[in-house]
Homo-oligomer: A and B are copies of this chain.
Amino acid sequence: MFLKLFKTDWINKLSPVQLILFFYCVAVIVSTCILAMPIAHKDGVNTSFIDILFIAVSAISVTGLSPISISETFNTLGYFLLAFIMQFGAVGVMAIGTSIWIILGKKIGLKERRLIMTDQNQTSFAGMVRLIKQIMYVILTIEFFGFIILSTYYLQYFPTTGEAVVNGFFSTISATTNAGFDITGNSLMMFKDDYFVQFITMLLIIFGAIGFPVLIEVKEYMFAREEIRKGLRFTLFTKVTTLTFFSLIVIGAIFIALFDAGNFFADKSWHEVLFYSLFQSVTTRSGGLSTMDVSQLTEQNHLFMSLLMFIGASPSSAGGGIRTTTFALVLIFIITFARGGASIRIFRREVYQEDLLKAVSVSLMALAFVFTSILIMSIMEPYPLSEILFEVTSAFGTVGLSLGITSELTTTSKVILMVLMFIGRVGIITFLFMFKNNKSSGKFHYPKERMIIG
């Protein structure tokens, strides 16, 4: 089907970005059709079109927000179909498409390479095919081990081996792809005292959210021979995004614990506080699974978590938001300015001025999108501002945490959240270049090192 589409003339006239958006739309439509099939539903379940569409967008954008209960709507076949759609969304329509071509042994031409380049935000043409292969290899490897560990371990929790395997499979995919859907009916709350499950799940979420380039660089480093390893250096991108990623997790956990010290955490032991706050901090990067009902937290924690979700995951990952690097570059930009314009070196490198400006633009536009969405939803909905903010940033960051209001929303608000999930997943820059060809400016070029934004 893909090949046939490529042979038509009109599709060749689209810019790479327009093509990707076209494929995302096709993916959403196909997913909606798949998920609407009665054969995937539990007996006697009635669903509305908007809710199925919402779940399709949510799965393709690996957000995990859902207006209806997954476990009450879908049967085991539905679970597997949903898991497939999440996987598809996470690795990216183009990456999957390309890997299909690789599997079919087809030579990949320049046009298709440019396609993937845009989707994964890579700035070098070289090694693109290798990259996609590696993505699939890395993700499937992680998921394989996750699945083995979790489904074995789940045997003690579920009455039959079949149920343990289905749950192990679904929760591995859901965690690794950062989709955050659950078929338990209450996310990971049943494992709130099981630190092993939480630890494995956090690992899987981090693998999915830290960005494919980081995983691949780490893998290359780990499997390189001794003499080659010495010559290898991590890219500036990997260093910045990883530092930001883990800083956000640690700082996030500390403040989540502090903001609810007198409330939710008041009667908890130190290790409960540690795991609750750590897990909820990790999940705001993009995961969306949770070990507690987040609506029990204080309003200031919701506000703080909204900020964390707005920042989101790393670029070229399964997550959304403005991205960790964007956030880091905005901080660098502000520090640069406060120092009177003197350029800043991080890890002994300078960043492109163009990248700083990109990061700042992306953040400001994201703020405008989020603010406008909140404004419109506050007209449509009776809920307080903090709850709407939480749901909106959760959608934009493709996190999927919810204070429980998504199921009660009007259709207009659901459409707004779908648009936000879409923008959050494809990224502001891609979204903006939707309507035109992506021309680079050629204005701020200095001999510095490239960074990935958005």
Contacts and interface: CB of A to CB of B under 8 A. Distances in A.
Interface residues of A, number: 43
Interface stretch (A75-83, A88-96, A438-446): A438-446
A350 to B, nearest CB: 13
A341 B386 contact: no
Interface in A353-406: 354, 357-358, 360-361, 363-365, 367-368, 371, 374-375, 378-379, 384-386, 389
Given A330-B364, A361-B334, A341 B375 contact: no
Contact of A307 (B259, B371, B389): B371
Contacts of A360: 333, 360, 364
A341 B443 contact: yes
A304 B389 CA distance: 14
A12 interface: no
Interface string A83-124: 000000000000000000000000000000000000000000
Nearest to A259: B379
A297 interface: no
Contacts of A378: 299-300, 303
Interface string A413-454: 000000000000000000010000011111110000000000
A386 B382 CA distance: 13
Given A334-B364, A334-B368, 18 more contacts: A299-B385, A300-B375, A300-B379, A303-B375, A333-B357, A333-B361, A338-B365, A338-B432, A340-B439, A341-B354, A341-B443, A342-B441, A343-B443, A360-B360, A360-B364, A384-B384, A384-B385, A384-B386
